[in-house]
Copies of this chain bind each other. A is one copy, B any other.
Amino acid sequence: MSAPAPTLRSLARQLGLSRTTVSDALRGSPRVDPKTAERVQRAAEEAGYRRNPLAGALMSELRRSRGTAFRGVLAAVDFTEPDRPDAAGRFHRELVIGAETRAGELGFKVEKFAVGHAGVSVQRLDSILQSRGIHGVILLPAWDDPDLSNLDWTRFAGIYTDYIIERPALHSVCSDHYRSLLAALQRIVALGYRQPGLYLQRHQDERLQFRWSAAFRAFQESQPEIRAIPPLIVAAHEQETFARWFKQHQPDVVLGHHTDAIDWMAACGAELPGRHGFVCLNKNMTARPCAGLDLQPRTLGARGAELLIAQLQRNETGIPEWPSTTTIPARWSDGPTLRLAAP
């Protein structure tokens, strides 16, 4: 019943062979005599031997790297684009810091590469990565649809730090915008606000397949005590459009990316953080202090590195059959544009 589980060594003893030969035989190495191999395999099956997966993973990694200092390098690839907002730079830097830190803990290094507009071509990147022996690629978020299908993905494992997962469809990590906005609204209501308004640039909502506005409407629908205000979704930010919407619908709190709206609200007679409030939907994209959501780029970068390294350790490259998206909720952060307790 409780016989000790068979190991390579016990099996070898029983067969009168060395553990090495048994190991080689079970993995089908050409170094062992086919007759011996078959004998070993039969004995292993009879004894119910199962190789320890942890030991296997450790040893193959150990012997392969042969004492060299670092075990692997990941590439962080940035698409330089002419029309990307400058503020995105900070978000990117934080993502990379998170990835670097976590990768370091797991024995990997991260190196940055720029592609497109102000960087190298995709072809060139391919050959650089090949010659450097880099097999893990972290793709930083791009403003427009990037296209990396030209990379020879049979040799790489990759991960996006964004929702956009086409061309090619790889695994990705990103914020859980939907859930985070619901949580933020619950918080806001707990603070006594009753007429939340959403203010977005159309491109930003479309990029996320309308997750911001969908969560907002779902919340309005599920909370009868809230007065439903139609979201203001614009092509470009303009004070006049905003002011018209604000005066017509009179939201007592506005959620949005564009922090200039704080001034525009004030210009319309709003009192922040007393009767009115402003919540920023991505605090990492603005330098202005305010309450809002921290989309946690560091944590995202860290989890991305983790997922990528797990793939490399399983020796998996290429485009996954079913790409998955791993999301992390945003962290709420208080600030001077919102009251701290219900009045």
Contact = CB atoms under 8 A, between A and B. Distances in A.
| Integer count of this chain's copies in the complex | 2
Interface size class of A (residues with CB under 8 A): 35 or more
A105 B50 contact: yes
Contacts of A107: 50-53, 56
Interface in A203-232: 209-211, 213-215, 217-218, 221-222
Contact of A58 (B55, B67, B213): B55
A324 B326 contact: yes
Contacts of A72: 50, 52-54
Nearest to A215: B214
A72 B54 CA distance: 8
Contacts of A309: 53
Contact of A69 (B4, B104, B306, B327): B4
Given A68-B2, A68-B5, A176 B325 contact: yes
A211 B5 contact: no
Contacts of A306: 310, 314
Q: Which of A4, A62, A215, A218 has its CB near the most chain B CB atoms (within 10 A)?
A: A218
Given A5-B67, A5-B71, A324 B314 contact: no
26 contacts: A50-B71, A50-B105, A52-B58, A52-B107, A53-B72, A53-B107, A53-B108, A53-B309, A54-B61, A54-B72, A58-B58, A176-B325, A178-B178, A178-B214, A179-B209, A210-B218, A211-B218, A214-B215, A296-B322, A303-B322, A303-B324, A306-B310, A306-B314, A324-B327, A325-B326, A327-B327
